[in-house]
Structure 1
């Protein structure tokens, strides 16, 4: 056990340190994680033999739960609201069209049956939000016309549809029976309906629970959150819903409300998501046998080109018909459809379910993900400039904001008097307007920095800043009355 822990500790540290260097050269971190895993694998420098697809699948499934949850927590609902319908169309119709567009070329090149070809298309149909935005942040690329929230929402929410397609096609191949369109749509509606409903309910409930629970140690809140999201996933799965969609929706609605230790909780889950991604890519890197890749390299490369230049654009352009996005913006959305951890995880399901040509499907998907990360991931900055979707004056605008006065109204003091409604409640629970800022609290002879867990006490002196005088009066009245 000590040797195993030492091995993974070294791999994790090596992956993180190498990714830090790779950022300077524009190499996506996910490519580094895969490379380290392959170097440590049975045909790599360390020669660690690993070919247990069931373990890889279980690791991937657990990781995907927390990766999607963290993606939801990082999603600002107000930013995706203007593009919600278009993003949802891309994440559903776009995924289906991409999968069906890949299938004919897969059948021609590989000689698969139509179902096996469609399975390959379904496995490779989803995009990776973490890969896209890690690159955009590393290169400090800002995008025009709500492109960033569109890509963010689509990438974070299209995994459930890819998972649904993959699992249903695997089931069809296994039982050799094709369901009727009505049955297929009813299953789709039930899975997504239950997933969205439970995700919404659990997402609304957690902030209220945190604001009233008042645990003695803040470290218990992340533990509660992890257990809560595992409960959501399992419950949703047990009653026939899509658990992956549920955890993503829950993350979005949890982020929508204020609650105690919110900032710390989001930071914690962001770290968990990165740890999960590294572990998954290391595991999948160990699972692949590099010597098997050359025999499928040419076919996989042609499929990658077909996916990038034909299948993905078909899904994007059809999904965005009638939208406000122009031709160049649609081209950019097509180009940033990076493939990541989800397709490789889904490819392991073909092994576990004993699907014909499972080994070929896994190796092709692995190669296509590598190609996508290298080809698209390393050219996002160039593509943003080439398609004229990049904001060139962001720094200038930021400077204007930074040089503008922070406070235009005088600060006000307010004392919590006996009988005030807020006494005994915490700051997050009160849900004050965003323009109404409590900057400092004086309690007796002690000065407190108010956070979400700060509880209003009688006699507290609040230092308040509010730009809107009418809003200030209304808020104070609501607090006292």
Structure 2
């Protein structure tokens, strides 16, 4: 009993310290996942904690369970609208990207570590895929607003590239241990089986869970447990039949998350906490597993591999993979840089150790070092890289909070909270007066909170700075309302520099705009709507921030509407004596 209590005490203490360390993460500019790893290493056998832990089997079990939870949560938050701009390129990166990166890095690892080529390729396969846990966490907590094409590409790639990474690791382990059984046909069949069963179980399991969410009436806290248990069922079933459990649970999350119901908000709120618990627990355990002195033995080799991976192997594979999709050079560079390594390579590095591959401890130590360097260098520089490569969008006016009140199985009322800013257009006005400005949308103020107290909506009520107002409104009114309440909170100059001085309707004739501003169009573009000219010149689905230069003028996609249509266009005029914008 004392041993069990001590175990619970240590587990709780480590997680407690890890969560408290999150407050230090933003101040130091370090990724939170890296701090979890450091906490585990400090608690390990060579740290102040002195905990002896070398159970690779248990670490593998915890790692796979945690990754299943993280991928399920990532799928729940992935909108199918993202597939419009990123499904094909992300699929290429999830397959060719892993193969190309592993091939280039494998050749380098064989030379740098002076090992058998099979061992070099195995090491490259282990660290060849991006990590969903790291990508989801760092992109969503970096404070950077990326354009939809880049963000969706990175998230879908990281959630879908695990089958290829697992296949490559399995293939190389089999070549090392059982070379007589290795065959190209067998490997091709294994890949098809992994991806096919993963997709099948994911879609089927997700559909069943979505139907259960709609039709069952449970206590609020049980909806998330239903989805979590269903996700683990899908994960385990796919793995038992040699399918990709990681792909299955990610796809199941996408299906459930995009079939919204009255229980969806409860599920997302609880799953957010469970995903953080999974990430913290997994990285702490992986930190416990490593021995820092072993890492020090291969410092220079790991550093060389990490640099080659970040600066050569990943960029070359990404550039070739994205070439047909007409990404800009800056977008390709950013996708290359944010090829974050995290828990997946460490979990994959455990496989050879458990299987008894010769020199597998070397693989584990080098892979762990590469992950540490990736989180430290790439993870900590995401905001700077986004600004340098100009893939960051200006901040938008947003509600302070948003909720949904479900009034039917498929009917919900969106609710938004806004805080009155001093000097804003909302100050000194009645909430109903603000709502009346939205002629074509049903907007109503349902609550006003001042100094923590709910106020009665009397006729002489006037908004003051610091008041919180709750509105029921359609999504289309959320941003305009935020502008009324926000005052001068945004850098309007920055927005103008990015989107241009004027806003143009996307359905206006391009020829009329060209005549008004004096620029020349291509033959056949004069009679087309401006939106069609933009899409034709881009050669890909448009997203906010896309720009097309015509003479000295720059047309910028300012907003996107329904069904992937351009909602509004910004126009940047050339300044005398200043070169035109070529971004």
TM-score normalised over the length of structure 1: 0.82
Deviation at 1:52, TM superposition (A): 1.0
Pick one of 51, 56, 68 that aligns with 1:53. 56
Check conservation: 2:234, 2:249, Cα contact below 8 A.
Answer: yes
- 3-state SS of the aligned residue for 1:348? helix
Q: Which residue of 2 aligns with 1:103?
A: 106
Instruction: Quote the Cα distance in structure 2 between the aligned partners of 1:354 and 1:54.
Output: 12
Deviation at 1:303, TM superposition (A): 0.4
Is 2:146 the partner of 1:143? yes
Q: Which residue of 2 aligns with 1:165?
A: 168
Instruction: Quote the Cα distance in structure 1 between the aligned partners of 2:33 and 2:22.
Output: 8
Q: Which residue of 1 aligns with 2:322?
A: 320
Q: Deviations over 1:112-138 (max 9, x none)?
A: 222211111111012124434433444
Q: Deviations over 1:114-165 (max 9, x none)?
A: 2211111111012124434433444421123621111111122222321222
- 3-state SS of the aligned residue for 1:45? coil
Q: Which residue of 2 aligns with 1:422?
A: none
TM-aligned CA distance change 1:438 to 1:193, over 3 Å: farther
Q: Which residue of 1 aligns with 2:495?
A: none
Range with greater deviation from structure 2 (160-169 or 118-127) = 160-169
- 3-state SS of the aligned residue for 1:241? coil
Q: Which residue of 2 aligns with 1:357?
A: 359
Check conservation: 2:262, 2:410, Cα contact below 8 A.
Answer: no
Q: Which residue of 2 aligns with 1:272?
A: 274
Q: Which residue of 2 aligns with 1:254?
A: 256
Pick one of 211, 214, 227 that aligns with 2:214. 211
Check conservation: 1:329, 1:389, Cα contact below 8 A.
Answer: yes
Q: Which residue of 2 aligns with 1:3?
A: 6
Instruction: Quote the Cα distance in structure 1 between the aligned partners of 2:475 and 2:277.
Output: 41
Higher strand share: 2
Instruction: Quote the Cα distance in structure 1 between the aligned partners of 2:144 and 2:79.
Output: 18
Q: Which residue of 1 aligns with 2:42?
A: 39
Pick one of 115, 118, 128 that aligns with 1:115. 118
Deviation at 1:295, TM superposition (A): 1.3
Instruction: Quote the Cα distance in structure 2 between the aligned partners of 1:150 and 1:59.
Output: 28
Instruction: Quote the Cα distance in structure 1 between the aligned partners of 2:26 and 2:305.
Output: 28
Check conservation: 1:208, 1:429, Cα contact below 8 A.
Answer: no
Q: Which residue of 2 aligns with 1:455?
A: none
Q: Which residue of 1 aligns with 2:346?
A: 344
Q: Which residue of 2 aligns with 1:18?
A: 21
Is 2:60 the partner of 1:72? no
Check conservation: 1:67, 1:273, Cα contact below 8 A.
Answer: yes
Check conservation: 1:236, 1:246, Cα contact below 8 A.
Answer: yes
Q: Deviations over 1:194-238 (max 9, x none)?
A: 1101101111221211211223x2222222222211221222222
Q: Which residue of 1 aligns with 2:392?
A: 390
Check conservation: 1:232, 1:243, Cα contact below 8 A.
Answer: yes
- 3-state SS of the aligned residue for 1:42? coil
Moved beyond 6 Å, runs of 4+ = 432-441, 464-468
Range with greater deviation from structure 2 (127-136 or 300-309) = 127-136
Check conservation: 2:318, 2:332, Cα contact below 8 A.
Answer: yes
Q: Which residue of 2 aligns with 1:198?
A: 201
Q: Which structure 2 residue ranges, 5 or more long, are not aligned?
A: 401-405, 415-439, 447-471, 477-583
Instruction: Quote the Cα distance in structure 2 between the aligned partners of 1:67 and 1:381.
Output: 23
Deviation at 1:96, TM superposition (A): 1.2
Instruction: Quote the Cα distance in structure 2 between the aligned partners of 1:344 and 1:293.
Output: 13
TM-aligned CA distance change 1:113 to 1:438, over 3 Å: farther
TM-aligned CA distance change 1:271 to 1:466, over 3 Å: closer
Deviation at 1:281, TM superposition (A): 1.1
Instruction: Quote the Cα distance in structure 2 between the aligned partners of 1:428 and 1:209.
Output: 15
Instruction: Quote the Cα distance in structure 1 between the aligned partners of 2:181 and 2:387.
Output: 46
Check conservation: 1:66, 1:273, Cα contact below 8 A.
Answer: yes
Deviation at 1:12, TM superposition (A): 0.7
Is 2:187 the partner of 1:184? yes
Q: Which residue of 1 aligns with 2:514?
A: none
Q: Which residue of 2 aligns with 1:222?
A: 224
- 3-state SS of the aligned residue for 1:321? helix
Instruction: Quote the Cα distance in structure 2 between the aligned partners of 1:134 and 1:70.
Output: 11
Check conservation: 1:208, 1:259, Cα contact below 8 A.
Answer: no
Deviation at 1:110, TM superposition (A): 1.4
Correspondence 1:222-241 to 2 at 5 A:
222-241=224-243
Range with greater deviation from structure 2 (283-292 or 160-169) = 160-169
Higher helix share: 1
Q: Deviations over 1:89-110 (max 9, x none)?
A: 1111111111111101111011
Deviation at 1:342, TM superposition (A): 0.7
Check conservation: 2:18, 2:36, Cα contact below 8 A.
Answer: yes
Instruction: Quote the Cα distance in structure 2 between the aligned partners of 1:239 and 1:119.
Output: 24
TM-aligned CA distance change 1:127 to 1:467, over 3 Å: closer
Instruction: Quote the Cα distance in structure 1 between the aligned partners of 2:474 and 2:71.
Output: 36
Q: Which residue of 2 aligns with 1:126?
A: 129
Instruction: Quote the Cα distance in structure 2 between the aligned partners of 1:356 and 1:344.
Output: 17
Deviation at 1:436, TM superposition (A): 10
Q: Across the two proteins, how many residue pairs are aligned to each other?
A: 419
TM-aligned CA distance change 1:334 to 1:272, over 3 Å: same
Deviation at 1:433, TM superposition (A): 11
TM-align CA RMSD: 2.6
Deviation at 1:78, TM superposition (A): 1.1
TM-aligned CA distance change 1:280 to 1:264, over 3 Å: same
